[in-house]
């Protein structure tokens, strides 16, 4: 199933900003910030605004089509998301991301955190940061 069909089935409209954001991310070799997506997308569609990029990213993230990458500089970037539950590896030097399946059982850790804090955990994000093989060999 392609992303447009997935978006439609989730009840979202296919708008020009969403189409441009997906096109930019499909061509990206690394996670891109909203500003980078806007700059690249503006070349494809001259009337694309930065606010439209933020709105498109929010909708595409809720639909599970893009994944937010939390960078060490406290800025967010975005990559295309694979279907299903995945986590990310992020190279701190080149910014490359790799997804890995989220099949590990975190239930004992979540239960411990809930007991210690009183929180009710509803979801989680796991992102590991390090150096990819090419960057380690520099």
> pLDDT tens digits, residue range 72-81?
777 899 999 8
Q: Is residue 18 part of a domain?
A: yes
pLDDT for the residue 24: 97
Q: Is residue 122 part of a domain?
A: yes
Q: How far apart are CA 110 and CA 101, in angstroms?
A: 18
- Single pTM value for the model: 0.78
Q: Is residue 64 part of a domain?
A: yes
| Residues 65/80, Cβ–Cβ less than 8 Å | yes
Residue 45: give the domain boundaries.
3-133
CATH code, domain carrying 41:
1.10.10.10
User: Per residue in 10-23, pLDDT tens?
Assistant: 888 999 999 999 99
Q: Is residue 53 part of a domain?
A: yes
pLDDT for the residue 118: 95
| Residues 4/43, Cβ–Cβ less than 8 Å | no
Question: Which residue positions in the chain have pLDDT lower than 70?
Answer: 1, 103-104
pLDDT for the residue 1: 62
Q: Is residue 22 part of a domain?
A: yes
Q: Is residue 138 part of a domain?
A: no
Contacts of 119 (CB under 8 A, 6+ apart): 113
Q: What dihedral angle (degrees, nearest 10) is formed by the CA atoms of 6, 8, 10, 15?
A: 100
Q: Is residue 71 part of a domain?
A: yes
How many domains does the chain contain in total? Answer: 1
């Amino acid at each position: 199933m392609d992303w447009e069909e997935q978006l439609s089935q989730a009840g979202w409209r296919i708008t020009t900003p969403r189409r441009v954001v997906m096109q930019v991310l499909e061509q990206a070799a690394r996670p891109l910030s909203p500003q980078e997506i806007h700059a690249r997308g503006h070349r494809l569609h001259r009337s694309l605004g930065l606010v439209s990029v933020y709105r498109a990213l929010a909708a595409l993230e809720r639909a599970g089509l893009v994944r937010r990458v939390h960078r060490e500089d406290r800025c967010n970037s975005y990559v295309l998301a694979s279907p299903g539950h995945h986590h990310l590896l992020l190279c701190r030097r080149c910014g490359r991301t790799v997804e890995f399946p989220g099949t590990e059982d975190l239930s004992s850790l979540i239960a411990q955190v809930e007991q210690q804090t009183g929180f009710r955990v509803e979801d989680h994000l796991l992102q590991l940061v390090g150096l990819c093989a090419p960057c380690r060999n520099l």
